[in-house]
Amino acid sequence: MRLSALFRVAVALLYGLGLSLASQAEENPASAPAATPQTPHIALLLPLQSKALGPSADAIKSGFMAGFERASSNALPYVVYPMADEGAEVVDTYQLAVRSGARVVVGPLTIPALKTLVDRQAISVPTLGLNTLSSEQPAPEKLYLLNLSGAAEARLVARKAWQAGLKRATTLALDSAVDQRMQQAFVAEWEKLGGTMVSQVNVPTVKPNYPSLKPMLAQCQCDVFFLATDATRARTIRPYLPPDVAVYATSQAYTGQIKSPANFDLRNLRFYDMPWLLQLDHPAVMIYSRSPVPLSLSNERLYALGIDAWRLAEKMLTHQSQQPLELDGVSGRLVLLPDGQFQRELTGAEIQNDEVRLLP
């Protein structure tokens, strides 16, 4: 880390990051003791000073603070360690947090930063990374991984469709990297389950010819379509699909509105999303405060991830490596797998006319 950046982080820890805690303490003195150097604490490492990642990092931080607000009176304080460039600063910032008393670290946010920590063998305390690693790079001991992976959601959708008795699938995806990853994950899981892949339809991102899908798919000989795309494209594609074939999608196809005329184009679509967005009146969701400022749908999900990150961090303080670790979270039911990854079980829903209805 550059000396100026290190100086800023050190000063923030000594003085400013006490501001983060001090402001919390003014609102809730019983649950937010002021932190001093070498005070045991939970560290939050995020690229808050990054122009590209700052808004996403800020949403996670705000959710993390909302989770802390519901903590017990004897909970450890948290300290925020902001970064501008996770790749250049992550090892120095991580080690600073540990030297300053961090018992658990939450972050970093990006795949390259996580890879750097693993490659440098820097993981020394229980750490909750907020992304994933490649399948060729297993998580070392003390590293746990929590994220909103679209590929993981696609695998979940494949399992749900299979459990519903469906056997023959056709996928539709644009030729973007995100859509292709979701499609590939669905196909791999579907074939692993024993399902038959009828076809994989790739729609051009530039000048797509959506009407041509209707005659192409009318004779698909499949019993389920998987839409590996976002809400805007899903709304455009859905009307061209045969009405008697089941349609499934990930949370990316959801507009975020429980009741809206925009849902008509997606009617009968089944999708899976977090309780934070689908079960607003659930007691376990209602106890956490919402963001005081409007958030985009993607940042609303990251806010919920931040809440669960705080809750998992508390559990990680006392977790033993061979023990199960689960959380009925607002971002989903979280279960720690043997590879260190938290699997999210999501809430199922179906769009009926203009309204989202929860699946039994």
Q: What is the per-residue pLDDT across 286-338, written as a single tens digit (0 to 9) for each?
A: 999 999 999 999 999 999 999 999 999 999 999 887 789 999 999 999 999 99
Collect contacts of 320-324 with beta carbons under 8 A, ≥24 apart.
321/141
Range 151-274+346-358 has CATH code 3.40.50.2300: yes
Q: Where along the chain do the CATH 3.40.50.2300 domains lie?
A: 3-145, 151-274+346-358
What CA–CA distance (Å, rounded) separates 1 from 198? 52
What CA–CA distance (Å, rounded) separates 325 from 316? 8
Q: So what's the pLDDT on residue 255?
A: 93
The dotted CATH code for 3-145 is 3.40.50.2300
Q: So what's the pLDDT on residue 331?
A: 98
Q: What percent of the chain has pLDDT over 70?
A: 90
Q: Rounded mean pLDDT of 231-246?
A: 96
> What would the two tokens of residue 287 be?
């106890």
Judge whether 245 and 166 are in contact, CB under 8 Å. no
Residue 244 has pLDDT above 60, yes or no: yes
Q: So what's the pLDDT on residue 323?
A: 82
Q: Rounded mean pLDDT of 203-211?
A: 93
- Kindly report, residue by residue over 84-111, the tens digit of the pLDDT: 989 889 999 999 999 999 999 999 999 9
Order of strands across the sheet with 326-329? 326-329, 332-336, 342-345
Answer whether the bond into residue 108 is a cis peptide, omega within 30°: yes
User: Which single residue is written with the structure tokens 């991102």?
Assistant: 205
Q: So what's the pLDDT on residue 36?
A: 56
**Among candidates 191, 167, 169, 41, which has minimal Cα distance to 101?**
41
Q: So what's the pLDDT on residue 266?
A: 96
Q: So what's the pLDDT on residue 35?
A: 52
User: Mean pLDDT of all residues in the chain?
Assistant: 90
Q: So what's the pLDDT on residue 58?
A: 98
- Give the DSSP H or E segment for 271: strand 269-273
Q: So what's the pLDDT on residue 197?
A: 98
Q: So what's the pLDDT on residue 8?
A: 34
Q: What percent of the chain has pLDDT over 90?
A: 83
Q: Rounded mean pLDDT of 208-227?
A: 95
Q: So what's the pLDDT on residue 9?
A: 35
> What would the two tokens of residue 201 be?
């339809």
Q: So what's the pLDDT on residue 14?
A: 33
- Kindly report, residue by residue over 166-206, the tens digit of the pLDDT: 999 999 999 999 999 999 999 999 999 999 999 999 999 99
Lowest-confidence region among 38-52, 129-143, 182-196, 198-212 = 129-143
Q: So what's the pLDDT on residue 138?
A: 82
Q: Rounded mean pLDDT of 117-143?
A: 92
Reported as half-sphere exposure (CB side, CA atoms, 13 A), residue 118 has a value of: 24
